[in-house]
A and B are shown apart, each in its own frame.
Chain A
Amino acid sequence: DSGVTQTPKHLITATGQRVTLRCSPRSGDLSVYWYQQSLDQGLQFLIQYYNGEERAKGNILERFSAQQFPDLHSELNLSSLELGDSALYFCASSVDGGPQRGYTFGSGTRLTVV
């Protein structure tokens, strides 16, 4: 157990639908990062939140949005889903003060859009 909790582990939904993925960071970590991993693209950075505020944005589609709540958990909302959104979605959190211990990843949510 990495200490980063993601739910649900698996999600199957239809095109056009909306889903919400949830992440609880490791205790004490203020930063949360969302990544998408598909077979042909590798791990792609989507967005980072730090202590409730958006800190950095990557290749996140306009149909996707995220937020971080006062208790530091984060949610990634995916709407108007398309077949191509099928992927593993990872959340990671990091220790403040430096990257030396790396970014700790959760076990991911596997999203299948049918």
Chain B
Amino acid sequence: GQNIDQPTEMTATEGAIVQINCTYQTSGFNGLFWYQQHAGEAPTFLSYNVLDGLEEKGRFSSFLSRSKGYSYLLLKELQMKDSASYLCAVRFSGGSYIPTFGRGTSLIVHP
């Protein structure tokens, strides 16, 4: 299968740093996305990784290790508005390259 695993829920404190992990089956891997989704709203694109390493974009960074089938999204200087669901999605060559989404990690940021 193309299981994509993320923790269901995480909590963190405003101003802190949080790391959201995602693991996936490595066979046929062709790119990984992170999306942010506030309740009842559309997912919005955060990052795309296809090569190993860290991509930094403001307060958000995304890391990929293709050999380990592992990615993480790092959120720094957390703000209350970062409370949302974070979706990891992977493109597989056997799946017409359509992103397969994990179930998402619900992040709760408290004061």
Contacts and interface: CB of A to CB of B under 8 A. Distances in A.
Contacts of B87: 42-43
Q: How large is the interface on B (under 10, 10 to 19, 20 to 34, 35 or more residues)?
A: 20 to 34
A56 B45 CA distance: 21
Contacts of A43: 43, 87, 89, 101, 104
B102 A103 contact: no
Contacts, number: 58
Given A43-B43, A90-B42, A103 B104 contact: no
Contact of A107 (B41, B100, B101, B103): B41
A45 interface: yes
A42 B43 CA distance: 12
Interface string B34-69: 010000111111001000000000000000000000
A33 B33 contact: no
Interface residues of A, number: 26
B98 A48 contact: yes
Given A104-B45, A108-B42, A99 B91 contact: yes
A45 B97 CA distance: 12
Contacts of B40: 88, 108, 110
A105 B41 CA distance: 10
Contacts of B99: 45, 99, 103
A103 B45 contact: yes
B73 to A, nearest CB: 14
A107 B95 CA distance: 25
B46 to A, nearest CB: 8
Given A2-B42, A42-B103, A102 B98 contact: no
Nearest to A56: B96
9 closest A-B pairs (Cβ-Cβ)? A102-B45, A56-B96, A42-B103, A105-B42, A43-B101, A107-B42, A105-B43, A45-B98, A56-B98
